[in-house]
C-alpha cells in the first residue's frame, strides 16, 4: 500500500513538472473551434503608437492587432510587460507564447523563434537636433550615436560607428533616446521610422529632426515560440483575412493615419 502511494505521488510530481514549462493556459497553441484558451504574449510599452499604457491599460497598434488575431482564433490574450531586450530570451525559454513589440524579422532571431508574415513595413532613420552640425553620415566622425538595447537600431549604430569613426551609447528605454539627444548626452540616435515620426509630430521630440533617407528597409513580425506551429499558422491565416476584409487597415489608420 505504501509503495502504491509512493508511485502515485511520483507520477503526480512528474506531471506537474512537465506542465510547468508551458506558457499558455490549457494549451500551447490555438485550435480554430476551441474557446476560452489563453495565450501569453509579451510587449514593451514604451509609450509610442505600437504599445503604451493608458490609465493602466495596454493599448497601441501591436496590442490591437494581436487581440484581433487572437479573437479570430478563439483565443484570449494575457499580456506580459517587459524590456525589449528580454523578449527574445523569454521566447527561447518558452515563458511566453509570442510577442509583439515592433520586432524586426531578422535571420538571427529566426534561428531561435518563429515569425508570422510581416504585418508592418518600417526602416531605421538617423535623428539629430534641429541645430546639429550633422548633415549626413559623413559628419558622424567623433560623434556619439545612441540606440536601444537589443534592437536593429543598435546593430546599425555599431556598423556606422565602425564605418565613420563614431562612438555608440546604449540605453534601455525608448523615451530616453530622444531626451539624451535633446539634452546633449548624445549627438544622434537611430530608431525605427514610425516611432521617430510619432515622437516628432506629437511634439514630445519637437527639437529633433530626421536627416537623410531611411538607413534600412525592415519588416516587423509577430514572434511565436518555436514549435507552436498551430498558433503560427492560425495567426498567418487570420492576418491575411484582416488585410483582405479591411480590419487591418482600420487599426492601421487609427494609429498612423491614411497610407
Q: List domains and CATH numbers for the chain.
A: 23-121+220-256 (3.40.190.10), 124-216 (3.40.190.10)
Indicate the length of the chain as a whole number. 259
Residue 25 pLDDT grade (very low, low, confident, very high; cuts 50, 70, 90): low
- Residue-wise pLDDT for 141-182, tens only, equals 999 999 999 899 999 999 999 999 999 999 988 889 999 999
**26 Cβ contact partners less than 8 Å away, ≥ 6 residues apart:** 36, 37, 38
pLDDT (0 to 100) of residue 258: 52
The closest of 21, 48, 92 to 220, measured between CA atoms, is 48
- Residue-wise pLDDT for 106-143, tens only, equals 999 999 999 999 999 999 999 999 999 999 999 999 99
- What are the DSSP E strand ranges found in 103-234? 114-115, 120-122, 124-129, 144-148, 167-171, 188-192, 208-211, 218-220, 223-224
Q: Are 174 and 48 in contact, with CB atoms under 8 Å apart?
A: yes
Mean pLDDT of 69-94: 96
Instruction: Output the pTM of the full model.
Output: 0.71
Cell of 93: 525559454
Q: Are 63 and 99 in contact, with CB atoms under 8 Å apart?
A: no
Mean pLDDT of 198-203: 85
Amino acid at each position: 500500500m505504501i509503495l502504491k502511494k509512493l508511485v502515485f505521488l511520483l507520477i503526480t510530481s512528474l506531471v506537474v513538472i512537465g506542465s510547468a514549462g508551458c506558457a499558455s493556459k490549457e494549451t500551447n497553441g490555438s485550435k480554430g473551434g476551441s474557446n476560452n484558451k489563453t495565450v501569453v504574449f509579451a510587449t514593451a510599452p514604451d509609450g509610442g503608437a505600437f504599445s503604451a499604457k493608458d490609465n493602466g491599460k495596454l493599448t497601441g497598434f501591436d496590442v490591437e492587432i494581436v487581440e484581433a488575431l487572437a479573437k479570430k482564433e478563439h483565443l484570449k490574450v494575457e499580456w506580459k510587460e517587459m524590456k525589449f531586450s528580454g523578449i527574445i530570451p523569454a521566447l527561447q525559454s518558452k515563458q511566453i507564447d509570442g510577442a509583439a513589440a515592433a520586432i524586426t524579422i531578422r535571420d538571427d532571431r529566426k534561428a531561435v523563434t518563429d515569425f508570422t508574415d510581416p504585418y508592418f513595413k518600417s526602416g531605421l532613420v538617423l535623428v539629430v537636433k534641429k541645430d546639429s552640425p550633422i548633415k549626413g553620415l559623413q559628419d558622424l566622425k567623433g560623434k556619439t550615436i545612441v540606440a536601444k538595447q537589443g534592437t536593429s537600431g543598435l546593430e546599425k549604430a555599431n556598423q556606422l560607428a565602425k564605418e565613420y569613426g563614431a562612438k555608440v551609447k546604449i540605453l534601455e528605454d525608448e523615451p530616453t533616446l530622444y531626451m539624451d539627444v535633446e539634452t546633449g548626452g548624445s549627438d544622434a540616435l537611430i530608431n525605427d521610422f514610425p516611432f521617430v515620426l510619432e515622437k516628432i509630430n506629437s511634439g514630445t521630440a519637437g527639437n529633433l529632426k530626421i536627416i537623410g533617407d531611411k538607413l534600412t528597409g525592415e519588416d516587423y513580425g509577430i514572434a511565436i515560440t518555436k514549435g507552436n506551429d498551430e498558433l503560427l499558422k492560425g495567426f498567418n491565416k487570420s492576418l491575411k483575412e484582416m488585410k483582405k476584409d479591411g480590419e487591418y487597415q482600420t487599426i492601421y489608420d487609427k494609429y498612423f493615419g491614411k497610407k
